[in-house]
Amino acid sequence: MRKMLEYLIPGLKLFVICAVAAVILGLINEVTEPEIKKNQTKEQEQALKAMFTQEEWREIPAVPFSLSSKDFEDDLLKKCRTTEQKQFLAYGYDFDGNNDTYNLKKDLSLDDREKLGALLKVIGYKNKGPVESYFPVIQNQSVSGYALKINGNGYGGAMTIIAGYNTDGSIRDVRLLDNSETPGLGKKAETEGYMDKFIGTGGDKPVPVIKNMLGDQKEIDAVTGASITFMGIADALRSGSDFVKKIEGK
């Protein structure tokens, strides 16, 4: 018994310290979280405004383009609570009997896309693709391009990327926002000029996803030592390009 307590008490004391620390950190997170969110939105807005001259931006959550009928029923239909939600899902997705899949309707209006995205969020569906949401660029009442918010994976973990695309899927401009890349190496991706190698690719020209696809030796040298960051960004940009092509129905 005595022996047991000898081992038990230190463990319990450690637990008490952990519990107190957790409560304090929870409280602090409660205070700082809204501020951090505000900073992130501000940064995102600045990135968007630097890419396209547009004042008002609407964010549309990304939804899957195609789901197997089993996934569609399990992940979406069964989680709906009202018949209205079910009806709207059936309106947004067409059933393809040949492949046994549900495909997103191609000619949905932006309003419907936004509503569908909001619905998926409400029923707790987590989109698996790297594209989190998109911001259509409207010129003369028609969509002239998209800005995408893409989650990439770098050397230091998750990265948030804002990228502007033309409607053919080619890249107009890229900004690396939140990231934990190594200063002096991967962090260089934040500097001006780094993203130049991607601009114009994604349409007719493929996005360079491995170092050897960069033509210039100078550009290869620029990403050497931080290849994981480069590949993370390139991968995210390529998925973004595919995403834009799918929205445009190409």
Partner 1 sequence: MLKQFTNGIFKENPVFIILLGLCPTLAVSTQVVNALGMGVAVIFVLLGSNMFVSLLKDFIPEKVRIPCYIIIIASFVTIVDLAMRAYAPSLSKSLGVFVQLIVVNCIILGRAEAFASKNNLKSSVMDALGMGVGFTLALTLIALIREVVGSGKITLFAIHAIGFNGEINIPYLSDSPIRMIGYPAGALLVVGLLKALFNWFESRNKGAIK
The residue ranges that bind partner 1 (CB under 8 A) are: 9-11, 13-14, 17-18, 21, 24-25, 28-29, 31-33, 35-36, 39, 43, 156, 180-184, 187
Could you give the CA distance from residue 78 to residue 224 in angstroms, rounded to a whole number?
Answer: 48
> Among residues 20 and 118, whose Cβ is nearest to partner 1?
20
- At residue 45, φ and ψ (nearest 5 deg) are -65, -40
> Among residues 14 and 118, whose Cβ is nearest to partner 1?
14
Q: How far is the CB of 47 from partner 1 (least distance, A)?
A: 13
Q: How far is the CB of 232 from partner 1 (least distance, A)?
A: 16
> Among residues 17 and 90, whose Cβ is nearest to partner 1?
17
Residue 137 burial (CB < 10 Å; 0-12/13-18/19+)? buried
Residues 6+ apart with CB under 8 A from 250: 168, 169
Q: How far is the CB of 187 from partner 1 (least distance, A)?
A: 6
Locate all alpha helices (DSSP H) within the chain, ordered by sequence.
Answer: 2-51, 69-71, 83-92, 110-122, 217-223, 227-247
Would you say how long the chain is, in residues? Answer: 250
How many C-alpha atoms does 174 have within 13 Å on its Cβ side? 31
> Among residues 33 and 84, whose Cβ is nearest to partner 1?
33
Q: How far is the CB of 4 from partner 1 (least distance, A)?
A: 14
